A = this chain, B = another copy of it.
């Protein structure tokens, strides 16, 4: 009997099936330091225990995207080891803050299955949930991936395509953000005087700076998340593949763009939800990432006088500054665009 794990194929999934993923992971200040070193993130709440405590956190929480990457990483061996493509995300909600010392584990429920007409592949929809050690969900999201079938003639495991919201609804935003003493929020320390009320739909912000990515950096990051997707690490195989290069984990791009977005969105301290996103093009080592944001909506939150929510589009490019906001027209993107992310961020009012 083979002891190594080949990953699941399309036929191996069942609707309603719940998969408990290995490996539980205690998140620590060591992970937080590495996250800072990898992306240069500067949001005051996650950077400073003193700042976080002043406004009502017990101490600095772990960066939301670091939580996402760790939970996501756990799902890879079971869900997407035999994936052809990661097709999308939806309804990603941050549900509880995560602090150094918390242990994260993850499960995925199969909520949709659809064989492709070529019968070689199928689409698997999962709702993945991350938990802390008291069993509280800290994050959930839906992801759908195209997965190889083991055998073209194999029977398809049923068909169901779930309905997914276009955006996370306002009452669900901010659940991972405790009630804040917003009077103690110090704009100078946070890096910007532009709070919630200063933003309006349609506003575009160039985040100015560029960040060049090295192979060692994205590998360190992706291993930190215990993400085992083969394409990120193995130049021997990838060198013979479609791109001839190791492919950088899409989450690395999201974190880079989010860190760059500090320059203009310094008070958007918490990613409350991800409505959806598209990795428009691959990123490779040696490329330089730039980013810009567009304000899609400004929402007051029920029963929250401390914070409001901005729905933001975060667009990242490679090797192209964003002063003129490279975008898409219809389905066609500017060829430099690599990421188009739709998310809710929380800002002090």
Taking beta carbons and an 8 Å cutoff, which residues of A are in contact with B? 1-5, 20-26, 28-34, 36-40, 42-44, 47-51, 60, 77, 101, 103, 105, 133, 188-192, 194, 198-199, 203, 205-212, 214-217, 219-224, 226, 228, 230, 233-237, 246, 263-266, 286, 288, 290, 319-321
Contacts and interface: CB of A to CB of B under 8 A. Distances in A.
A233 B212 contact: yes
Given A3-B194, A219-B217, A233 B206 contact: no
A51 B222 CA distance: 22
A212 B233 CA distance: 6
A23 B47 contact: yes
Given A49-B26, A216-B216, A263-B4, A211 B226 contact: no
A346 to B, nearest CB: 16
A33 B40 CA distance: 17
A237 B198 CA distance: 31
Contact of A235 (B48, B212, B220): B212
Contact of A209 (B133, B205, B211, B230): B230
Contacts of A205: 2-4
A22 B190 contact: yes
Nearest to A288: B236
A103 B4 contact: no
Contacts of A44: 22-24
B23 A189 contact: yes
Contact of A234 (B29, B264, B288): B288
